[in-house]
């Protein structure tokens, strides 16, 4: 008898634990989706700010004039950062890349000094870069403005596509999350259908019957949310080493909002799923309980 009671308790606990774990995994995926959606703009900016161009200077340009031009660019609203590369530095980098001394072969350094410019995200598009190019070419020290036009177009096009894909994926994942949690809770309530019917037979009201199930659903949603938040924290910790500018623990307010939404989602989805699952078996006739 004791062995049978222990076996029953173990089955109930393992069923409850598996339900919490499955719910937490679904909430974890919802949390990942929220991270992607909330950071979509930051991710887009991160990619766009890798776009830049080279301002090639005339050979007779003095270093003091080059520094003045660089400071002028730094003060421009479209510039995120700049770097001055002298003829000697450019030659050294090219030699390391080629693995041979091309200056010794040619007898002179054919390269020019340049200023490498990285743009702010809102200006990293073909139209803005074209206007910036025209503005810079009007300056006497500037010999040429070089950038890969095809790369700029490709980056902007891919950012738009990825944003649309993330949105569609998010809607699909949200639907799947609701279905999975709902099915898990329905299975849990299904195992108690005879208990629900017995309580009906002794005259218990529907509200009285629902109450313990709803409380259990809320508690289960809370535990699942806490586990999902722990998993999300681990993911953020791992990702921030590679993409610190996009996702990191420094985003305290954003992470607090996401974690709060995960808890709210855990409560609401579990509560509604439990409510409708219990209501279903409250309406079912006795003969239908066996199917």
> What's the pLDDT tens digit per position in 193-233?
777 777 877 878 878 888 888 888 888 889 889 999 999 88
Report residue 184 CA to chain centroid gap. 27
Calpha distance 196→278 (Å, rounded): 8
Highest mean pLDDT: which range of 105-119, 184-198, 251-265: 251-265
What pLDDT is stored for residue 230 in this prediction? 92
> Of all residues in the chain, what percent carry a pLDDT higher than 90?
2
Taking a C-beta distance cutoff of 8 angstroms, is the pair 228, 27 a contact?
yes
What pLDDT is stored for residue 62 in this prediction? 78
What pLDDT is stored for residue 283 in this prediction? 75
User: Average pLDDT in the 239-264 region?
Assistant: 77
Bridge-based pairing state of the strands 52-57 and 79-85:
unpaired
Q: What is the mean pLDDT of the chain?
A: 79
Residue spans per domain, the chain: 2-44+156-290, 52-146
Per residue in 103-155, pLDDT (tens digit) is 777 777 777 888 889 888 888 888 888 888 888 888 888 888 888 777 777 77
Residue 79 has pLDDT above 70, yes or no: yes
User: Average pLDDT in the 226-255 region?
Assistant: 78
What pLDDT is stored for residue 188 in this prediction? 75
Q: Is 36 left (phi over 0), alpha (psi -120 to 50) or beta?
A: alpha
CATH classification code of 52-146: 3.30.70.3040
- Residue 237: CB partners within 8 Å, gap ≥ 6? 249
Higher confidence at residue 151 or residue 10?
151
φ, ψ for residue 114, nearest 5 deg: -150, 165
Is-above-0.75 flag for pTM?
no
């Amino acid at each position: 008898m004791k062995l049978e009671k222990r076996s029953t308790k173990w089955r109930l606990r393992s069923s409850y634990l598996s339900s919490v774990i499955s719910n937490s995994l679904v909430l974890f995926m919802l949390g990942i989706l929220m991270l992607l959606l909330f950071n979509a703009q930051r991710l887009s900016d991160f990619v766009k700010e890798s776009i830049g161009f080279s301002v090639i200077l005339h050979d007779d340009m003095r270093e003091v004039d080059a520094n003045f031009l660089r400071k002028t660019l730094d003060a421009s609203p479209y510039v995120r950062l700049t770097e001055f590369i002298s003829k000697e530095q450019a030659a050294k980098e090219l030699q390391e890349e080629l693995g041979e001394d091309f200056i010794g072969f040619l007898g002179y350094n054919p390269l020019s000094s340049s200023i490498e410019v990285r743009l702010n995200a809102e200006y990293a598009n073909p139209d803005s870069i074209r206007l910036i190019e025209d503005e810079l070419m009007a300056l006497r020290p500037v010999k040429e403005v070089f950038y890969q036009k095809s790369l700029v177009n490709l980056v902007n096009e891919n950012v738009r596509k990825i944003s649309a894909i993330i949105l569609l994926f998010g809607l699909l994942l949200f639907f799947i999350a609701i279905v999975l949690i709902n099915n898990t809770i329905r299975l849990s309530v299904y195992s108690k259908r005879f208990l629900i019917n017995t309580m009906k037979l002794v005259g218990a009201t529907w509200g009285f019957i629902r109450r313990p199930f709803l409380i259990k659903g809320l508690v289960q949603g809370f535990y699942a949310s806490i586990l999902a938040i722990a998993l999300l924290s681990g993911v953020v910790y791992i990702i921030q080493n590679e993409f610190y500018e996009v996702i990191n623990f420094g985003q305290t307010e954003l992470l607090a909002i996401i974690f709060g939404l995960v808890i709210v989602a855990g409560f609401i989805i579990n509560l509604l799923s439990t409510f409708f699952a219990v209501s279903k078996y409250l309406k079912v006739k006795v003969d239908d309980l066996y199917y």
